[in-house]
Structure 1
Amino acid sequence: MPVKAISSTEEYQTFLASAPATKLVVVDFTATWCPPCQLIKPFFKKLSDEFHHVAFLEANTQIGKLQGANSKDLHNLIKQHQGPVEDAGEGSGSGSGSAPLVAGHSDITDQITLNQVDCLNQQTANPVQNALKAGDAYLESDVDEQLIIYAPFNQAVKLHSIRIIPNDIAKAPKTVKLYVNRLSLGFDEAESVEPTQIIELTDEHYKGNGLIPLRFVKFQNVTSVILFVEDNMEDEETTQIKQISFIGSSIESTDMSALKKIEHDH
């Protein structure tokens, strides 16, 4: 397969998260100013032509640099770019520290204004509030597999990633469209309005930690987010979600919880 150019850390993380566990991914971390990098480039391309079932990536983006034997700077550089940290207790609940953490970010699910959360096509017996807290309860759709979840934050945040834990993988979300800073969205609109990001989930994703990196540059000043679950993994009649967590950081202290959401009927 052709060599895929990677332009950001988020794109790199998303590719790795979506790749099957059995698929080999070979990454060439290169630079235009590096003679050895340019020397090996044609051979790397030749390998990608030979091994069609292997994923070949090329990353020409520098996110950190260290020269010399400086132990303190090395420690700080690793700390800065350490990536997600697994929590010891999986499913221990939403709130700070309960989901895998990302350097510089934390679980900000507790910053959602719960009394303004809404979900279209949810079952009365299994509402969206079940998915925003720990426990055995879950969210389930009603008349078909689709869900539209509206989650407002009580202050503006930077949203780095979301985490979806399935109740039943067969009924877990497959295609999820995210919309930032919209007060409402109907099912008809969801088919025509351009989403901020589209996520295609796989079985391998749900066998991992459930962390879904977002295009961070598009989620820098988020006051609300809408998740449109378009379908599920095995085309079941209904979709189920055990837990949804939001990973990010606050950017201001203005409390948004007093703002009233515009009602929108399904």
Structure 2
Amino acid sequence: MSHNHSHGHGCAHEALGIEDELEMGIQYSLYAKIDMMNVECLNEETEGSGKTVFKPYDQRMDFSKFVTSDADEELLFNIPFTGNVKLKGIIVMGANDDSHPKKMRLFKNRPKMTFDDTAVQPEQEFELERDSNGVIEYSTKVVTFSSVHHLSIHFPTNYGDSNTTVYYIGLKGEFSEAHHHGVTICTYESMPSVSDHKNGLLDKVNHRVQ
């Protein structure tokens, strides 16, 4: 019997409900911890376009922001963070055609990588499925990527097009402030969780009842 679902990672994630979308948005929020001023994308057709693929999860379908490779199908991102990251997952979203990246190679803490540097063994690599909805997650080796201050992502090839296009790269994980000095005074802005709100609402109701 024939069906249209792709096998592998994508089957369980093809239709996301509103709660799933919100949860994914919370999980894939590391884009806010990227040092955007110093992000590099090598072989991008339009200068600065590589930075635009790091955006909120709920804006991943904004097709006005994307990067396309220039001379050939390769793309190389150098992504510095503003602190240390424990990287847990990545989403790569392209078009549903042959320009979609086919392989992804991850390098940890190697600032200013060039294509010559990609000859070394990556910390991890993945065979990518076509994902035009941004729903396929690739889990990283958490032990390997437990203290990342710089991430390089190399897309060496695609599904057969002469150029590669990426619309969204999502990064999931935990962030901690970097402490470069002996004494650092940090102001932490904590995001309230859903559970905090629930407890608060219950407290208010209880007070009213009493």
- CA separation of 1:164/1:255 partners in 2, compared to 1, >3 Å: closer, same or farther? farther
Conserved 8 A contact 2:38-2:80: yes
Amino acid corresponding to residue 249 of structure 1 in structure 2: E
Displacement of 1:87: 6.4
Where does the alignment leave 5 or more consecutive residues of structure 2 unmatched? Answer: 1-6, 181-210
Distance 2:72 2:28 in 1: 33
The percentage of counterpart residues that share the same residue type is 23
- CA separation of 1:194/1:127 partners in 2, compared to 1, >3 Å: closer, same or farther? same
Residue 79 of structure 2 aligns to a residue in which SS? strand
* 1:129 matches 2:51: yes
Distance 1:176 1:138 in 2: 17
Distance 1:185 1:221 in 2: 18
Amino acid corresponding to residue 149 of structure 2 in structure 1: T
Conserved 8 A contact 1:182-1:226: yes
- CA separation of 1:125/1:222 partners in 2, compared to 1, >3 Å: closer, same or farther? closer
- CA separation of 1:139/1:174 partners in 2, compared to 1, >3 Å: closer, same or farther? same
- CA separation of 1:220/1:141 partners in 2, compared to 1, >3 Å: closer, same or farther? same
Conserved 8 A contact 1:159-1:222: yes
Displacement of 1:129: 1.9
The aligned residue for residue 117 of structure 1 is 39
Distance 2:156 2:72 in 1: 10
Q: 1:215 aligns with which of 132, 141, 162?
A: 141
Amino acid corresponding to residue 157 of structure 1 in structure 2: V
Distance 2:82 2:73 in 1: 29
The aligned residue for residue 18 of structure 2 is 88
Where does the alignment leave 5 or more consecutive residues of structure 1 unmatched? Answer: 1-14, 22-85, 257-266
Distance 2:8 2:173 in 1: 20
* 1:146 matches 2:71: no
The aligned residue for residue 238 of structure 1 is 163
The aligned residue for residue 114 of structure 2 is 186
Displacement of 1:100: 5.7
- CA separation of 1:87/1:151 partners in 2, compared to 1, >3 Å: closer, same or farther? farther
1:78-98 per-position Cα deviation (integer Å, ceiling 9, x unaligned) = xxxxxxxx56299x8xxxx57
Distance 2:106 2:163 in 1: 20
Residue 116 of structure 2 aligns to a residue in which SS? helix
Aligned-CA RMSD value: 2.8
1:130-151 per-position Cα deviation (integer Å, ceiling 9, x unaligned) = 2113322211100100000011
Equivalent positions of 1:1-266 (< 5 A) are: 17=9, 86=16, 88=18, 97=22, 99=24, 105-124=27-46, 127-133=49-55, 134=59, 135-136=62-63, 137-191=65-119, 193-203=120-130, 209-233=135-159, 235-250=160-175, 252-254=176-178
- CA separation of 1:207/1:117 partners in 2, compared to 1, >3 Å: closer, same or farther? closer
Distance 1:226 1:169 in 2: 25
TM-score calculated relative to the size of structure 1: 0.55
Which one scores higher on RCO, CA 8 angstroms, separation ≥ 6? 2
Aligned length: 164
